[in-house]
């Protein structure tokens, strides 16, 4: 049986394959509606994470690798064409945060946010929005072939 989660609880995104729509909002009440709203929010977080991962692999990592593979990326040494140039970090996965429903002290709501966000505090230091937990990458960095370091002609040493 479903019970309402506490405010500040963070859920990972996942596809909704089991929770049926409880019916129109005006007839669905309490836990049944919240269970469906939570499942709907987790489905949204899952879909947004999948889209962010696809964009990262195809655009961010793809552009980086094109430049890396042709020696047009500076690494930690500052050398153009450094084989140790790190790829861009994947975007954060989306999560669902349980929040207080606006204007209501007892109801809860579910918001989709990127992971790794700090809590929001008001001027008095009171938490007005919960943290979204630690950063969770939307995907892994794809495997790639390391390039060889550029060499100065005739010396066999890395260009600087």
Does pTM top 0.75 for this prediction? yes
| Number of Cα atoms under 13 Å in the Cβ half of residue 32 | 10
Please give the C-alpha separations between residue 80 and each of 87, 102, 145, 149, 160, in angstroms, as whole numbers.
Answer: 14, 52, 17, 9, 8
**Residue 60 DSSP label:** I
- Predicted confidence pLDDT, tens digits, the chain (160 residues): 788 888 889 999 999 887 777 666 555 566 777 888 899 999 999 999 999 999 999 999 999 999 999 989 988 888 888 889 999 999 999 999 998 877 666 678 899 999 999 887 778 877 777 889 999 999 999 999 988 877 665 554 555 5
Please give the C-alpha separations between residue 8 and each of 4, 68, 77, 150, 158, in angstroms, as whole numbers.
Answer: 12, 41, 42, 51, 51
């Amino acid at each position: 049986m479903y019970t309402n989660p506490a405010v500040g609880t963070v859920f990972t995104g996942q596809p909704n394959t089991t929770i049926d729509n409880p019916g129109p909002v005006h007839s669905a009440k309490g836990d049944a509606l919240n269970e469906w709203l939570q499942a709907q929010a987790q489905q949204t977080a899952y879909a947004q994470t999948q889209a962010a991962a696809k964009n990262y692999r195809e655009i961010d990592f793809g552009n980086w690798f094109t430049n890396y593979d042709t020696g047009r990326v500076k690494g930690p040494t500052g050398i153009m064409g450094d084989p140790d140039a790190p790829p861009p970090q994947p975007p954060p996965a989306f999560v669902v945060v349980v929040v207080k429903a606006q204007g209501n002290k007892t109801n809860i709501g579910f918001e989709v946010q990127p992971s790794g966000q700090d809590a929001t505090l008001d001027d008095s230091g009171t938490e007005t929005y919960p943290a979204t937990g630690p950063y969770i990458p939307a995907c892994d960095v794809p495997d790639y072939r390391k390039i060889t370091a550029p060499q100065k002609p005739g010396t066999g040493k890395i260009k600087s």
